[in-house]
Amino acid sequence: MASEAVKKILSAESEADRLNAEARKKAEEIINSAEQQAVVDIQKKLAEAKAEAEKIRKSNNSRIAEYTENAEKEYAGILENIRMDSEKNADKAVDAVISSFFS
């Protein structure tokens, strides 16, 4: 009777060890799966962030090009007016110098 009880105890301990080993294995599988999924999720989010950053960069470059073009157009007229005024002033200065020598 005692040996039967010992056998049952040993059998129960063996079964508990087996169940614990299965539980540890299952826990490791769950953790590994979660880690792998996290890596995939992180890579996906990084790719999305890079795509969004590139989209923003292109939009900014487009706006910068448009602003530059508009500024060049706006200031080209101003610079042309300044150039014309400076030519007139240079002509007046030359005329004044010539007049001062011949008067």
CA angle 33, 36, 41 (to 5 degrees): 120
Calculate the average pLDDT of the chain. Answer: 91
Tokens of 26: 């299952």
pLDDT of residue 7 exceeding 90: no
% of the chain exceeding 70 in pLDDT: 98
Q: pTM value?
A: 0.53
What burial class does residue 49 get, using C-beta atoms within 10 Å of its C-beta: 0-12 exposed, 13-18 middle, 19+ buried? exposed
CA angle 52, 54, 57 (to 5 degrees): 110
Across the range 80-86, mean pLDDT stands at 89
Q: Residue 103's pLDDT is what?
A: 65
